[in-house]
Amino acid sequence: MRKYKGHTKLVIKPASTEEISQALKYCNDNMLAVVPQGGNTGLVGGSVPVYDEIVLSTSRINTIRSFDPVAGTLVVDAGCILESVDQFLADKGYIFPLDLGAKGSCQIGGNVATNAGGLRLLRYGSLHGNVLGLEVVLPDGTIMDDLTTLRKNNTGYDLKQLFIGGEGTLGIITGVSILCPQRSQAVNVAFFALESFEKVQHAYREAKQQLSEILSAFELMDGRSQDLVHNVTNKKRPLEGDHPFYCLIETSGSNAEHDKEKLHQFLEHVMSEEIVSDGTLADNASQMQSLWSWREGITECLGHWGGVYKYDVSIPLSDLYELVEDTRARLSSAGLVGDTNEHPVVAVVGYGHMGDSNLHLNVATRRFDKAVEEKLEPFVYEWIAKRNGSISAEHGLGLQKKPYIGYSRSETMIRLMKQIKELFDPRGIMNPYKYI
C-alpha cells in the first residue's frame, strides 16, 4: 500500500528461542524498542520499524518440530512459512487450518500474532480455537513454555489467547502448536451470479443448509470488482453478461461423488428458485484455479492504476454491502470518482469472506489524495461503529488503526488492555506506539 516507510539501524536474526530470549533481555535492560517481524506481509504497518526500532526477525527459526499423525497436532517454529507447512501436512493427509493470499511468504508466528483469518475460517474456525499451545519469549527474556499439544487443558487462565492477535506487543511467539484437520480428498468450486445482495444472503443461507459440513468457502465479489479484474487481465469471464454480484463456493469433503451430488442439487435448487441467475461448476483443478483467480486476483488488479485505500471490516451480514454503496455515493457526489485522469478514484468495490461477515471495502485510485481521505475517514469508521461492526476484521490494528480502536472497543476494554500491556511489558519496549 506504500503507506509506511521503515528505517532501522539494526536487524537481528536470532537462530533459536534461547537467542531471542537473550536479545530481548538485552533490549529490555537497555530500554531499546523492538519490532518483531515475521514474513512482513501485514497491511497495517505493524511489522514496520517506523520509529527506528530494532527489527527482530523470526525467519531463522523455521523448523517443523513435531507432528502426531493420529491426533493431527503439529508443532512448528514461528518462522516457518505457511505454504511450506501446508505442503508438509499435505503429504500426511492433513491441512493447515488457515490459508491466505500471502501464504508463500508469511510466517506462522506472524499469522498467530496477528490472528490471521483468511479463506478457511468459515470451515475450520479461528486461531483462537485451533492453536493448542504457544512458546513465547516475554519482553524481559523469560521463556513462557505453553507449547502443549493437548486439545483440552482447563488449568488456569488461557494466557496464550492474549498473544493470538496481540501483534507482538506482549512478547515474541517462537513456537506454535496447532490442531490440523484432515485434508479433504474431494474439492469442488462453483461460481455464480446474483441480482441483489438480498439474493446473496439467501444463497448463503441455502448453501449452509444444503452443503453444511462440506462447505469450505463462500466468497463475495461485487460486479465492479469483476469488471476491474477483467479490464486488467483481459481474461474470458466465467459467466456471460453483467451482474451486480458474484459468489464463489468451495466444498471440501471425503467423497467426491457425494459432494458433487450435493453441489448439483444445491445449484439446481438455487437456479430453479431464481435465487441465482447463472452459475458454473469447475470440472477440474485448472478450472478451479481459474475461478478462484476472479476472487484472489482482485487485490492485485486494484493496484493497477495507483494506490488503493483498503478497509477490512466486519459488519452484521444484513448491512454488509450497504457500506460499499454508501461510500461510493459519498465519493461520487463529491465528484471524486470517474473514468478520466482528473478524478482520483477509479472505483469503489466490495468483496470478501461472506461466510465470516468480513467485507473488504477497497477504493482504487489513480493517486493518493487528501480529498479522498477526508471523505473516507472517519466516515467509514463511524458508519461501522453505528452498526456494532469491527474496524478491523482480520488485518489488525498495527500503526494504521491504533487511533480508531475506540470505534470498536469500549473505554473499559481499552483500559483493561492497557493494563495488560503494562503487566507484560512494563518498560514498553515491544512494538511501541502501535496497537492500543
Q: Which of 214, 248, 267, 430 binds a copy of itself (CB under 8 A)?
A: 214
Q: Which of 30, 234, 286, 412 binds a copy of itself (CB under 8 A)?
A: 412
Nearest to 225 by CA among 242, 205, 240, 250: 242
Least gap, CB of 312 to a copy of itself (angstroms): 8
**Residue number, 134 or 228, with CB nearest to a copy of itself:** 134
Least gap, CB of 43 to a copy of itself (angstroms): 11
**Residue number, 75 or 364, with CB nearest to a copy of itself:** 75
64 HSE (CA, 13 A, CB side): 16
- 9 touching a copy of itself, by CB under 8 A: no
Binding residues among 25-84 for a copy of itself as defined by CB under 8 A: 68-72
Residue 226 main-chain phi, psi, to 5 deg: -75, -35
- 271 touching a copy of itself, by CB under 8 A: no
Binding residues among 107-126 for a copy of itself as defined by CB under 8 A: 114-115, 117, 121, 125-126
- 310 touching a copy of itself, by CB under 8 A: no
Q: Which CA distances in Å does 431 have to 51, 98, 197, 406?
A: 9, 25, 40, 20
**Residue number, 104 or 426, with CB nearest to a copy of itself:** 426
Residue 157 CB coordination number (10 Å): 7
**Site residue total, a copy of itself (CB under 8 A):** 93
Least gap, CB of 147 to a copy of itself (angstroms): 9
Please give the Cα distance from 323 to 320 (Å, whole number). Answer: 6
Q: Which of 337, 365, 424, 429 binds a copy of itself (CB under 8 A)?
A: 424
Q: Which of 22, 148, 233, 290 binds a copy of itself (CB under 8 A)?
A: 148
Cβ(108)–Cβ(163) below 8 Å: no
Q: Which of 7, 15, 16, 205 binds a copy of itself (CB under 8 A)?
A: 205
Which residue is listed with cell 485434508? 183
**Residue number, 305 or 351, with CB nearest to a copy of itself:** 351
Binding residues among 335-364 for a copy of itself as defined by CB under 8 A: 353, 356-358
Binding residues among 314-333 for a copy of itself as defined by CB under 8 A: 314, 316-318
**Residue number, 152 or 236, with CB nearest to a copy of itself:** 152
Q: For the sheet containing 245-253, what is the strand order? A: 278-281, 186-194, 245-253, 215-222, 345-353, 358-365, 308-314
**Residue number, 208 or 235, with CB nearest to a copy of itself:** 208
- 90 touching a copy of itself, by CB under 8 A: no
Cβ(281)–Cβ(267) below 8 Å: yes
Q: Which of 16, 153, 196, 289 binds a copy of itself (CB under 8 A)?
A: 153
**Residue number, 238 or 396, with CB nearest to a copy of itself:** 396
- In degrees, rounded to 5, the angle at the alpha carbon of residue 217 between the alpha carbons of residues 213 and 219 is 145
340 HSE (CA, 13 A, CB side): 2
Question: Considering only 8-16, 205-213, 297-305, 335-343, which stretch makes contact with a copy of itself by CB under 8 A?
Answer: 205-213
Element (H, E) at 260: helix 256-272
Least gap, CB of 230 to a copy of itself (angstroms): 29
Nearest to 315 by CA among 246, 388, 245: 388
Burial 263-285 (b: 16+ CB within 10 A, else e): beebbeebeeeebbbebebbeee
- 154 touching a copy of itself, by CB under 8 A: yes
- Residue partners of 333: CB distance under 8 A and separation at least 6: none
